[in-house]
Amino acid sequence: MSKVLVIADHDHGVLKKLTLNTVAFAGHYAEKTAGSFDIAVIGHGVAGVAQAVTSYGAAAVHLVDHPDLAHPLAGPWAKVIADLATAIGADVVCMSASSIGKDVLPRVAVRLQAGMASDVVEIVTTSEGLAFRRPMWAGNLMGDVIISSPTKVVSVRSAAFDAVALGAGSSPIVASSAHPDAAGARVHFVSFDGTASSRPDLAEASVVVSGGRGLKDRFNSVMEPLADILGAAIGASRAAVDDGYAPNDYQVGQTGKVVAPQLYFAVAISGAVQHLAGMKNSKVIVAINKNADEPIFKVADYGLVADAFVAVPELVSKIKLLRA
Partner 1 sequence: MKILVSAKRVSDPNAKLSISGDRRWIEGDVEYVMNYFCENAIECALQLAEEHGDIETIALGIGESDETARFIRQGALARGIDRGILVVADEQTTDSDLIARIYAAVVEREQPDLVLIGKQAVDGDSNQVGQLLAEYLGWPQATFASKLERDGDQLVVTREVDGGLETLALSLPCVVTADLRLNEPRFAPLAGIMKAKKKPLEELELSDLELDDAQPKVRIVHMSAPAGRKAGMIVKDVEDLIAKLRGEARVL
Ligand X SMILES: Cc1cc2nc3c(=O)[nH]c(=O)nc-3n(C[C@H](O)[C@H](O)[C@H](O)COP(=O)(O)OP(=O)(O)OC[C@H]3O[C@@H](n4cnc5c(N)ncnc54)[C@H](O)[C@@H]3O)c2cc1C
Interface positions with ligand X (CB under 6 A): 212-214, 237-240, 251-256, 268-270, 272, 274-275, 278, 289-291, 294, 307-309
- Which residue sits closest to ligand X, CB atoms considered? 253
Closest C-alpha among 55, 50, 36, 28 to residue 162: 28
Site size for partner 1 (CB under 8 A): 90
CB of 306 to ligand X, least distance (A): 7
Q: Which residues pair with 38 in a beta bridge?
A: 5
State the minimum distance, in angstroms, from the CB of residue 63 to ligand X: 35
Three-state secondary structure readout of 58-106: CCCEEEEECHHHCCCCHHHHHHHHHHHHHHHCCCEEEEECCHHHHHHHH
Q: Which residue in the set 45, 283, 307, 320 belongs to the binding site for partner 1 (CB under 8 A)? A: 283
Element (H, E) at 19: helix 18-32
Answer with the entry of ligand X, partner 1, none that 122 interacts with (C-beta below 5 to 8 A by kind).
none
Per-position x/- string for 97-136, each x denoting binding to partner 1 as judged by CB under 8 A, each - no binding? -xxx-xxxxxx-xxx--xxxxxx------x-x--x--xxx
> Footprint of partner 1 on residues 246-275 (CB under 8 A)?
247-249, 254-255, 257, 262-263, 273-274
Assess 213 for contact with partner 1 (CB under 8 A): no
DSSP letters, 240-287, are: HHHTTSS-GGGBBSTTSB----SEEEEES----HHHHTTTTT-SEEEE
Q: Does 86 bind partner 1 (CB under 8 A)?
A: no
Q: Is 42 a binder of partner 1 (CB under 8 A)?
A: no
Residue 19's CB: how many other CB atoms inside 10 A?
A: 27
Phi and psi for 217 in degrees, rounded to 5?
-80, 5
Three-state SS for 119?
Answer: strand
Which residues in 148-177 contact partner 1 (CB under 8 A)? 148-149
203 makes contact, choosing from partner 1, ligand X, none, with CB < 5 to 8 Å by partner type, with partner 1
Contact 19, 163 (CB under 8 A): no
Q: Using the rule CB under 8 A, is 286 a contact of partner 1?
A: yes
Residue 174 or 263 having the CB closest to partner 1: 263
Quote the CA–CA distance of 201 and 295 in Å, as a whole number. 27
